[in-house]
Amino acid sequence: MTIFAVIVSRLSKAILTLLAIAILNFFLIHAAPGDPAVVLAGEAGAADEQMIEQLRERFGLDQPLYVQLGKYVAGIVQLDLGYSFRQGAPVAELIADRLPATLLLTLTAFVVSLVMGIVFGVSAAARVGKPSDSVLTTLALLFYATPLYWLALMAVLVFSVWLGWLPGFGYETVGANYTGFTRVLDILSHLILPALTLGLFFTAVYMRMARASMLEVSQLDFVKTAKAKGLSDAVIRRRHILRNAILPVVTLAGLQAGQLVGGAVLTETVFAWPGIGRLMFESLAARDYNTILGVFLVSAAMVILFNIVTDIVYRIVDPRIGARS
């Protein structure tokens, strides 16, 4: 199969999968106790029957579940994610508002962790058994085992409260009205702590994976052949070992990439980063059905998309995969 045919077949399956996910999510969210009308009325600190009935009617919750599902699916098919009655705005707009902040954070963390993970993993494998290897491996284990939440709070405490080097909250300096390059620097300084916190865990994962995989491949016969051919260590490591050892890392990277949209809830919460993970969490607490379904759907689409991308990357890294099928 050519790459083009693979993409077409995967995409058509993806659309069906997405639809199934949307329907499943719909039932899951409606199975949770409470509904948006009760939550909203509850927050008002006083409510009567009339108010709750009014809200239910406005939200369309007074209709039978299958009618609500029908309307929702009909909307999705037309790429309409619906309206958030709680926030008084279309869901697509709410998500689009939050998406850039989240992508900036998660993509930075993704790239940083992937690059650092591979570099550290490869160098640790090259120095296996030596002190530098032990240091890297121990650090990786430490970050792998530390809860993200704790790490985030400690990062704020050390770098923001004690040292005062970096801002501990938010996306940019509120009310400073920076423009141009100053604004970019400002956002970058806000980005460092959350991106590092989020990235450290994955750096550790990639490093461990890259190191183990490098060591395994370096024992194989073709490496001996290459050595016998008289190639230099550096060339063997880059062209022969790394290329074969990278596949498990690509698999993991594909998994992480799938979580680019919804995978940073904790980090966004601790660092008050105005991203989509928080939108999801807050909407869940408020039973804001349409918003939460919208975020779920976009996240699901990302997972599927990155699965396809991963498959394609496999074929590029290791041409044998395409040839076999």
Partner 1 sequence: MKYLKLKATTFLIAATLASPLAAQEAGGRLDIVVQPEPPGLMLGLVQNGPTQLVAGDIYESLLRYDGDLTPMPGLAKSWEISDDGLTYTFKLNEGVTWHDGEPFSADDVVFSADVFLRETHARLRASLAYVESITAPDPLTVVFKLKEPFGPFINAFENGTMPIVPKHIYEGTDFANNPANATPIGTGPFKFDEWVKGSHIHLVKNEDYYVDGLPYLDEVFYRVIPDAAARAVAFETGEVDVLPGGSVENWDIPRLAEMDGVCVTEKGWEFLAPLAWMWMNNREGPTANVKFRQAVMYAMDRKFMRDVVWNGFGTVATGPIASSTNFYSDDVTIYDHNPDKAKELLAEMGYDGEPVRILPLPYGETWQRWAEAVRQNLSEVGINAEIDSSDVAGWNEKTSQWDYDLAFTYLYQYGDPALGVSRNYTADRIKKGSPWNNVEGYNNPELDKKWAAAATMVKPMERADAYAEIQKEIVDDVPVAWMQELTFPTIYRCNVNDLVTTAIGINDGPRNAWIEK
DSSP state of 159: I
Pick the stretch among 3-11, 110-118, 132-140, 285-293 that binds partner 1 (CB under 8 A).
Answer: 285-293
Position 286 contacts partner 1 (CB under 8 A)? yes
168 binds partner 1 (CB under 8 A): yes
| Alpha carbons 132 and 138: distance in angstroms, whole number | 10
CB of 268 to partner 1, least distance (A): 8
DSSP 8-state secondary structure symbol assigned to residue 160: I
Distance CA 65, CA 170 (A): 39
Q: Which is nearer to partner 1, 111 or 285 (CB)?
A: 285
The residue count for binding partner 1 (CB under 8 A) is 55
Both tokens of residue 302? 């990302």
DSSP letters for 207-267: HHHHHHHHHHHHTSHHHHHHHHHT--HHHIIIIIIIHHHTHHHHHHHHHHHHTTTTTTHHH
118 closest CA partner among 241, 260, 290: 241
Q: Angle of helix 91-126 relative to helix 276-285, nearest 10 degrees? A: 120
86 binds partner 1 (CB under 8 A): yes
The answer to whether residue 131 forms part of the interface with partner 1 (CB under 8 A) is no
Contact pick of 14, 41, 61, 91 for partner 1 (by CB under 8 A): 41
Q: What is the DSSP string of 141-158?
A: HHHHHS-HHHHHHHHIII
Query: For residue 311, which of 241, 240, 257, 236 has the smallest C-alpha distance?
Result: 257
Task: Choose which of 278, 297, 302, 304 interacts with partner 1 (CB under 8 A).
Answer: 278
| C-beta closer to partner 1: residue 163 or 228 | 163
Asked whether position 304 contacts partner 1 by CB under 8 A, the answer is no
Sole window of 119-127, 164-172, 198-206, 239-247 interacting with partner 1 (rule: CB under 8 A): 164-172
**Contacting partner 1 within 206-225 (CB under 8 A):** none
The reply on whether position 192 binds partner 1 by CB under 8 A is no
Residue 171 interacting with partner 1 (CB under 8 A): yes
- Closest distance to partner 1 from the beta carbon of 235 (Å): 49
Interface residues toward partner 1, by CB under 8 A: 32-35, 38-52, 58, 86-89, 94, 97-98, 101, 153, 156-157, 160-161, 164, 167-171, 174-175, 268-275, 278-279, 282, 285-287
